[in-house]
Amino acid sequence: MKHLTALLLLLALCVPAFAAGRSPRKKRKQTKTEQPQPAPAPAVPTVEPKPAPQTQTAPARPELPDDVSLGFTPAQTDSLLAVWRERQRMDAYTEFFNNYILVDSLIPDTTPDSVYVGRLRALASPIQLPYNPLVKSYINRYTDSRYGTIGRVLGMSQYYFPLIEEELLRADLPVELRALPIIESALSATATSPMGAVGLWQFMPSTGKSYGLEVNSLVDERRDPIRSTQAACRYLRDLYAIYNDWTLAIAAYNCGPGNVNKAIARSGGKTFWEIYDYLPRETRGYVPAFIGASYAYAYHRQHGIEAAEAPIPLSVDTIRVNRLLHFGQIASTIDLPLETLRQLNPQYKIDIIPATTKPYTLVLPQRSVTEYIAHEQEIFAKDSAYLKEYLDPANLDKKRQERTGSVYVVKKGDTLGAIARRYRVTTAQLMRWNKIRNPRALRIGQRLRIEGR
């Protein structure tokens, strides 16, 4: 009995101790499964409790509308697209000079030759761009602010160079060949030489036709920026295949491969500079002029030259036309000046798109495309009013004489009489065609039109 009482007393002491040792585990387990509720704070009747600061939650993402046009009209969409394309083209133009051309201080006339040499070498190109006194004379000519040539060319290049560069890259040709239209036409799509060469690339009629360009009374694709550039790319590839030297190919582009071959045969040379003395006089300066134009285009800012404003809309689109159409039908229906249509479509010589047997292209400012499409039926309905006059052959000849002609850029030392004798016209005719009152008031860089050539 004594032993049983001791055993019961021992068990009574052990059970509470065992339970006390187990309670923390139970509490931890309970903490994991249940969060204890905090005791309410005692109310204070005299003091207003401050509201607890609200936690900032991320704003809900707005739902995108199902309509991808965002509610804009087609005309507004075209306008926004035009702004984007113009900005893109201007940004690309700016990026070229900011990122790829070394920027340094403006250079005076006493700049060391080593500066020119270094800059030409920096224009890494498969076309050799050497420096010598002849090249320097052309650099000085193109960078002389008195002429204003490069400023105007830079303005035009914002429209033409993206088109030209795209075709050069597509043909796997050096992009530096874009400088050729600078020395050929000063980037004027309607430029006409006294010998009859026309357009940015100054194709003669026979050469243009041999490379697939349409040349007739109504259409002259030598003036079409894209079609003429495509033809020039094919021609330049053929010339390079003959000589395997870009300076010789460029010289042959100017005077023809026949004259280059004669110069090679007579001199025994294999490079442009070795055959220089045996080339025609004009061609001797052609490659140096190409180098000078390339330099001036790349480094115009170092000479204090800025680009003029582009006179052509930079954002454009193309429409296919399947009916005979006069530019006047468009200009009289939608808000688009006739002169803008002529600038964007210089290949149509008398404002007529002769789409009778095949379709032709019509280039419009991006902002005007939707408006044109919306009024297309109204535009074509005016054909009898605008085309009746032009379907008479006599009227066609008259209009062709009015729209065709040569353009001469006044140079230092030019006089109106000398220019008239050069083109075999009278001074009075030049003054009448160009509305000149004082024949002694010519300006360097002034463009004179010579009608009927």
What DSSP character marks residue 59? P
Whole-angstrom distance, CA of residue 347 vs CA of residue 275? 37
CA pair distance 177, 239, nearest whole angstrom: 13
* CA 146 centroid distance within chain: 26
Task: Give the three-class secondary structure for 140.
Answer: helix
What is residue 157's three-state secondary structure?
A: helix
Helix (H, G, I), strand (E, B) or coil at 326: strand
As given in the structure block, the two tokens for residue 232 are 């020039």
184 is a catalytic site residue:
yes
Angle at which helices 286-298 and 133-143 pack, to 10 degrees? 50
Question: Which of the following is catalytic: 184, 274, 371, 376?
Answer: 184
The three-state (H, E, C) secondary structure of 254-322, written as one string: HHCHHHHHHHHHHHCCCCCCCCHHHCCHHHHCHHHHHHHHHHHHHCHHHHCCCCCCCCCCCCEEEEEEC
C-alpha distances in Å from residue 232, one per residue of 131, 235, 244, 319, 343: 26, 5, 17, 24, 21
Q: DSSP readout, 115-128?
A: HHHHHHHHS--SS-
**Phi/psi of residue 134, each to 5°?**
-65, -45
Active site amino acids: 184
